Amino acid sequence: MNMWNDIVYQPAEDTYLLQRAALAEARTQDLALEIGCGSGFISQELGPRVRRLIATDINPYAAQSARARGIEVIRADLFRGIKGKFDLILFNPPYLPTQPEERIGQWIDYALDGGENGRLTVDRFLKDLAGHLQPAGRALLLISSLTGLAEVQETAAAFGLTVDVVADEQCFFERLHVLRLGGTHSSF
């Protein structure tokens, strides 16, 4: 996997936090989707614990890396081209506030560039999430304190989603949060 280290997001503190939350949340009957799977680390661990897991990433090198781990991967931009509804959706989005001059113009930008407020991709995900959740489905979304927890909670509520913080961890200059999201009629 080393050949993709510079262009595919590699497991880090945020990956491990989301992985722990996902393993605690997963049910054997779940049809699961991991958006932005990166190297495929979480999907590889979660796949055997659910009925079926599909992973996506916009980065062709990430998709290739995940496939090398034996994961079913679709190259996609968030939910574009994804049909159906899922019991469990995971997403570790690009959440860091990023200025235009900080972008390097490589595929790795898709994993790191959260836009000027850190919520550009998060907001796009929240907008389409409810349409891809089963009635009792839930999603786990990882964000940073730099992304703005209250702002993400407000946006989720505006799209009719319930929000619970299920895990968090202090990490260097930020606090990482895993949010469990569901439709307003979801039961956890």
Give residue limits of the domains in the chain: 2-183
- Find out if CATH 3.40.50.150 is the number for domain 2-183: yes
pLDDT of residue 17: 97
**Each residue's pLDDT tens digit in the chain (188 positions)?**
445 567 898 899 999 999 999 999 999 999 999 999 999 999 999 999 999 999 999 999 999 999 999 999 999 999 998 999 999 999 999 888 888 888 777 867 677 777 888 899 999 999 999 999 999 999 999 999 999 999 999 999 999 999 999 999 999 899 999 999 998 644 44
Look at residue 101 in the predicted model and tell me its pLDDT. 81
Per-residue model confidence (pLDDT) at position 3: 58
Residue of 27, 38, 5 lying closest to 111 (CA atoms): 38
Give me the pLDDT at residue 184, please: 67
Rg (CA), the chain: 15
Q: How much is the pLDDT for 22?
A: 98
pTM: 0.92
